[in-house]
Structure formats: C-alpha cells, structure tokens
Amino acid sequence: MSSPESLVSRVTGLFADLTGSAPEGVWSAPGRVNLIGEHTDYNDGLCLPIGLPQRTYVAATRRADRTLRVRSAQRQEVVEVPLADVAPGTPGGWAAYLAGVLWALAREGYDVPGLDVAVDSSVPVGAGLSSSAALECAVAAAVSDLAGLGLLGSDGGRAALARACIAAENTIAQAPTGGMDQSTAMLCRDRAALLLDCRSWRTRLVPFDLAAHGYALLVTDTRASHALVDGQYGSRRDQCRQAAAELGVSSLRELEPADLDATLALLSDDVLRRRVRHVVTEIERVRTAAAALEADDLAALGALFDASHDSMRVDYEISCLELDLATGTARAHGALGARMTGGGFGGSSIALVALDAVESTTNAIAEAFAARGLVAPVSFAVTAGGPARRDC
C-alpha cells in the first residue's frame, strides 16, 4: 500500500495537472471493514466496524463560481458540473459521490462554494471496503474546512457530516446504503473498533489491537463483482421492511432475541423468516463480539465470525463461491474465525489469523482460487486506522 505521504504528494500532483496550481489543502478519510453486524444498519441495529489504513485523499481549492470540477487517479475523465444542476442521477457515475456531498450540505443551509478537486486512493474500489464513503467523507472534510463550517472539530459535527454523506450516496448517487460506512469514516479511531448503534447513532469505542495478542485481521478482496446499485441489496431492504410491517414493529431492531421462535412463526413466508432470523441473531452477535473484544477473548470472536458467515450464507443468502472459498480456506489453515464482510455477492472477507500464519493463509487462499480458475484475490492484514482529517 502507498504511504500517506506518497498519496498526499500524488494527489497534489494530480491537482496541479488539473488546475496549474497547488491546492488549498489535502484531506483524507478511511475505507472501513466491518468486523460483524452485516445488513443491520438499515434495520436500526448494531455493527462493529474499524477504519482501515487504506484512505482516499482529496486535494481541493475553492472556485469563484458555483461549479464542481473533479478528476480522480482511479478514473479517466474530468467531470464538471454546476452545483445548481446536481440532483438525483445528475451527475451520473462516480462524480455523484462528490457532488452529492456539496448538494447535501447546501440543503442543510450551509454556504457551499464551487470546488476544484483531485482524488487519489489506496482503498480498493468496489471491494466492499467502502471506497464510496471514504470519497464522500474526504470531500465533506474538505468542504467543512474550506467553507469554514467547523464540523470536524467535534463528534457532533462529524456526525452531521456523516449524515450529509449518507444523503449524498442515497439520493444523488442513488445507492440505497445504510449509515455504517460514513459514520465509521467520520468517527473511527486508531486501535479501536466502533460499536455503532444505528437507531440512536450513539457510538462506543472498543479496544481493537490484535497484534498485542499475536493475531492479525486478514482482509481478502475476492475481486468477485460487487455492485451495490444492483437489485439484491434493495431487495433485502424491502424484505426487512415487509417483515417489520407484518410484525407491526417500526424496525427489526425492536424484536427481542429471546422471543425469536415465536416471532418467526407469525411471518407469512419462509424467506422472510430467514431474513429476520439473520438480522435478529446478527445484532445479538455484535453485542457478544464487543464483549469478547473487551475481554480479550479472540477465540469467542472467531466463533462469532463463523456463525455470522453461516447466517449470511444460509439465511440472508448474500454469500457466493469466492466468499465461501476465502473464508473456508482461512479456517482450514487455522484461522480462529472468518466471515464475509460488506454488502455481499462478492467483495471482501475477513479472517482472524495468527501473526505468523498471515503469509501461509494468504498463499493458501490464492492457491484455492487458482485451482478453481478464479481471478486472483488480494489479501492484506489491516489495523484499525483513524477518521477523516486534514492532511496538509
């Protein structure tokens, strides 16, 4: 992975190519990996993400007119859009994630300037590691400073920026995601996981320093195709909404785990029963996982990873061959536990691996993929990184 210093200098160079001058500043925000608690955010539930060392950097300068001009090292084209034209579906494509943030902050009543922006990133794009929220949150951090909003200075201000980023993604980029990704990018901390309550938006930091216990979190980007904007994510959301309506609750969070069997018996359809069982048991697993981390019980955390993966594979039906192969291979090579992470249908998996087994597990996963003729996966160990910030 490129160092923060080299990414700052790369994005500054890209900005100079675009505008012929140096930027007013550089801001960055992390990708995230969710330790456990999948498809719980839009059910008002709990999740337990960490920020990644991989980050998206934006170099930005205010413009005299109300136009956004953007260029990304990960894309070919320069996109230019008048802020007045930003609306659901406009601009299309990747620039929506930037334009949407300006739109959402303007809608909140902030005086948002036009900007020139260059983007570069070490977050794999479309790998389920939330490159989209990293991009939005880096832009939001830039706007907060450049427009003098002062929102980076407090958790409350950061939560407000996260909400603007969620609105940008849902409304302008039209990807129906929950709020976990943006909240993580704004509020995560080094060497900590963020226990996030998506009903109250309250957060609690939980110690996450695996290396101190001889372990690593191995992320595998399976490179299997993953597009949140396709119908599957929306269909799971709809099924949860339908189940909540049948059960007469405002969200699946309201359901008591102890009454689960009786609750499931009230539902009309076996698919809904399985979806609800995943959500209710997964929220409970997040609680138990946070307690396991606080007690330094990594074996318990690993067992929860395995149970979570099974629940997503069987009940939520969002796993795929590559995710099952990466997690199964990690387990077979001694991982304490492994699970898919992110929205599903591809993307990434995580495994709790002894420090001295990182290399052999990485190789075993690569060999298992090669033996089946699959695209080579990319595995890397991660630690918990810090939130959106100004870099220079």
Give me the active site residues, please: 181
Closest contact distance (angstroms) between CB of 211 and ligand ADP is 25
- The residue type of 33 is V
Give the 3-state secondary structure of the chain. CCCHHHHHHHHHHHHHHHHCCCCCEEEEEEEEEECCCCCCHHHCCEECEEEEEEEEEEEEEECCCCEEEEEECCCCCCEEEEHHHCECCECCCCHHHHHHHHHHHHHCCCCCCCEEEEEEECCCCCCCCCHHHHHHHHHHHHHHHHCCCCHHHCHHHHHHHHHHHHHHHHHHCCCCCCCHHHHHHHHCCCCEEEEEECCCCCEEEEECCHHHHCEEEEEEECCCCCCCCCHHHHHHHHHHHHHHHHHCCCCHHHCCHHHHHHHHHCCCCHHHHHHHHHHHHHHHHHHHHHHHHHCCCHHHHHHHHHHHHHHHHHHCCCCCHHHHHHHHHHHHCCCCEEEEECCCCCCEEEEEEEHHHHHHHHHHHHHHHHHCCCCCCEEEEECCECCCEECC
* Cβ at position 343, least distance to Mg ion in Å: 8
Q: Is 312 in the site for ligand ADP (CB under 6 A)?
A: no
Window contacting ligand ADP (CB under 6 A); options: 129-137, 317-325, 326-334, 360-368: 129-137
User: Is 386 near ligand ADP (CB under 6 A)?
Assistant: no
Q: Which of 387, 369, 319, 388 is nearest to 347 (CA)?
A: 319
Give the dihedral sign, CA 40/42/43/44.
positive
- Cβ(261)–Cβ(225) under 8 Å? no
Nearer to ligand ADP, 302 or 347 (CB): 347
- Please identify, using beta-carbon distances, which residue of 72 and 130 lies nearer to Mg ion: 130
| 300 binding ligand ADP? (CB under 6 A) | no
Task: Please state the closest distance from residue 73 (CB atom) to ligand ADP, in A.
Answer: 7
Q: Taking CB within 5 to 8 Å according to partner kind, which of ligand ADP, Mg ion, none is near residue 303?
A: none
How many residues bind Mg ion (CB under 5 A)? The answer is 2
Among Mg ion, ligand ADP, none, the one that 119 touches (CB under a kind-dependent 5 to 8 A) is ligand ADP
| String marking each residue 91-130 x if it binds Mg ion according to CB under 5 A | ---------------------------------------x
Residue 40 makes contact with Mg ion by CB under 5 A: no
CB nearer ligand ADP, residue 233 or residue 369: 233
Q: How far is the CB of 128 from ligand ADP (least distance, A)?
A: 5
Shortest Å, Cβ 386 to ligand ADP: 19
The amino acid that residue 286 corresponds to is: V
CA distances from 144 to 69, 131, 208, 213 (A): 18, 20, 29, 38
Residue whose CB is less far from Mg ion, 343 or 377: 343
**Which residue reads 């012929």 in tokens?**
20
Nearer to ligand ADP, 154 or 174 (CB): 174
Task: Tell whether residue 61 is a contact of ligand ADP (CB under 6 A).
Answer: no
Q: Which does 215 bind (CB under 5 to 8 A by kind): Mg ion, ligand ADP, none?
A: none
**Out of 125, 247, 300, 374, which residue is the one contacting ligand ADP (CB under 6 A)?**
125
d(CA 137, CA 141): 6
CB of 323 to Mg ion, least distance (A): 17
CB 52, min distance to Mg ion, A = 13
Among 15, 27, 42, 94, binds ligand ADP (CB under 6 A): 94
Instruction: Answer yes or no whether residue 280 interacts with ligand ADP by CB under 6 A.
Output: no
Interaction between residue 222 and Mg ion (CB under 5 A) = no
Q: Does 12 bind ligand ADP (CB under 6 A)?
A: no
Residue 233 lies near ligand ADP (rule: CB under 6 A): no
Whether a cis peptide bond, with omega within 30° of 0, leads into 257 is no
Binding of residue 132 to Mg ion (CB under 5 A)? yes
Exactly one of 12, 122, 130, 327 binds ligand ADP (CB under 6 A); which one?
130
Q: What are the residues binding Mg ion (CB under 5 A)?
A: 130, 132
Q: What are the residues binding ligand ADP (CB under 6 A)?
A: 56, 72, 74-75, 94, 97, 119, 121, 125-132, 135, 175, 228, 342
